[in-house]
Structure 1
Amino acid sequence: MTTYHRDPFDRPLKKLELTVRRLFNRLFLADRTPTVVTSTRDAIAIPDHPSFVFLRQDRIGDVLITSPIIRAVREAYPDARIDVVLSRNNVMVANTLEPFIDGSYIYQRSTTSLLSIIRALRKQRYDVIVDLLDNASSTSSLLVSMSNARFALGVDKENRGVYTHVVPLLDKATVHISERIRSLVTALGIEPASVDMRPMYPISEDDAARAKSLLFPEGRPTHPVGVVFSGSSVLRTYPEEKVIAVLDRIKPLYPSAAFYVFCAPHHREQAARIAAAVGAQAVPTTSSFHAYAAALHEMEALISPDTSAVHLAAAWNLPSCVLFNQHDPNLYPWYPYQTHCEAVINHGSNLADIAVDDVVRAIEQLFAYCTIPKEHHGLS
């Protein structure tokens, strides 16, 4: 697989970039009236030996939920050239796409990087550019409009004028994000119902063996449980003192459960304090997302805020208790797709507002599902 344009200019030129985007929005977003595709009968006329480029320059979880779509396109068009635009925020999970793609571009969130990728896209002259975002994005709009692709496909939304073809936007309040973006394959001549949207993240036997050696040097416990407390921002992180309070309540009730605290490297001190306070194991931090994922793969259940770990859980059908912020009631939470989940919903923007009692109750329901035995004579 080829990786294109790892841009050396990492400093965003924010003022210029925003000016360019505003100008673009005023001049070009309503330039086209796209064809609305509701069935494969109206699909794009894909040529022989086609070339596709997919836009996925957002977060790790977005790549994980996209992997089934890329796989489906590869299976439908085995002779196609398939490339993808990633970002520095999600390139660490490119390995999940590598079996199905030929190359990637890495967007660095700078004007220099944006222009570099536009030049590369124009030179390649793709048959189809596919925007996988179901929210309007100025970056995607620029890439689509300037790509020189023969056809441009996206979900029908505010920037519909940049596409030649769109699929209807399914109800954001009731339809899972995986199924909303799956509808894009209709315009590529693929029946959406034929695409299994469970995310993919492969762990090899060697990966698993290394993870077991790290986690269980004295043998695997009966019920290992992963605890992730930090998300992508402070507002999506459950506070240290509340994590300790939850585990103080749960741990005596489930003596056969062993708790493993996972975190990003910059949260290692908090993880160590949590583990020391409740007698859990702090998992050694690593800069390798793959090593982190391999360790999570060894868990029997997962407790986590809404973060990439949730979509890894869906990839492996790992039951979970997930803490969500849902400040918009019209936006369906990103539950782990088709995987058992005990959800704790905060109808605001800060996970810290979730009560300890609510998390404890959800974990007890999760452990009942996992048949982790409870000591009824313990604390209550």
Structure 2
Amino acid sequence: MTTSEVLLRVRDLAVDYRVPGGAPLRAVDGVSFTVRRGETLGLVGESGCGKSSTARAVMMLRRPTGGRIEFDGQDLARLPARQLRRLRPQLQMIFQDPASSLNPRRTVAAIVAEGLAAHRHPRPWTRLVDDALSAVGLDPEAVGHRRPTELSGGQCQRVALARALVLAPALVVCDEPVSALDVSVQAQILNLLEDTRRRHRLSLLFIAHDLAVVKQVSDRVGVMYLGRICELAPAEQLYRQPRHPYTRALLDAVPLLEPVPPSGAIAAPGSIAVPGTVPTPGTASTPGEPPSPLRPPSGCRFRTRCDRARDRCAEETPPLHPVTEDHQVACHYPLPG
């Protein structure tokens, strides 16, 4: 991969949090990945694995404790404040809860124009704001004068996307952008993100805990566990042939849709009924809960829940190493290919 192909390069990223009366909590520990121009990289894992901390560090909303975050060749963590501010329009973020990320006192048009005002973009802004709203499927005349409390969750997330797009960014970080939305609305927002990425040739860093959502939008997927990336591969390859036991366990836990038997079966309460199919539970086999990030296991952090663990797993930390040309795994005993 040439330097010109890479928009974002994260190397050995570390993020610590202060814990009252104790040692710092390392939420992100030695994470490395790249995001290519025009690519969507998905990060997936259980709650508390460090996905959102990684996203906030990339956006410099929280200063990293260590490592490098290179955006278009420039290390963001080492840039003076004035230079970092000039780069801000090129990096935008969409947050998990659309309602709480929008100022309830402002109109939709004023919210979308916030970035233009902050970066002193020449007026008038009306055309730019209207174009951004239209690009995300909203009628500027119908919603421009309204406030977030008058909109649905899906409409609020479209406004958040319009606010990011109005500055013509190169990278958009999406931190669980659809987890607070209904399933039907999720599909609309995901299709919109994919369409927007292609039309504007954006790069996306897409954070989520839902593997089905990540697969739908991502070109490559990184799987995180307890602050580290344990597997990184093209989406289709990772879902078809995972090599890390934790990735396999995550995929086994995803409910499947199977044909309805001849006698007929009805969908369980609260599930989505698909004609001719019935939801069935996954076959997750990972025992126990993730260890505390305050006291992570030695060596491989997944070893306490892994049936393939050996003495070496407790003694040596497995590096993220290639098992094929574009497939990397941090495991001493990866699953067979």
TM-score between the two structures when normalised by the length of structure 2: 0.27
RCO (CA 8 Å, sep 6+): is it higher in 1 or 2? 2
Looking at secondary structure, tell me which structure has more helix per residue.
1
TM-score between the two structures when normalised by the length of structure 1: 0.25
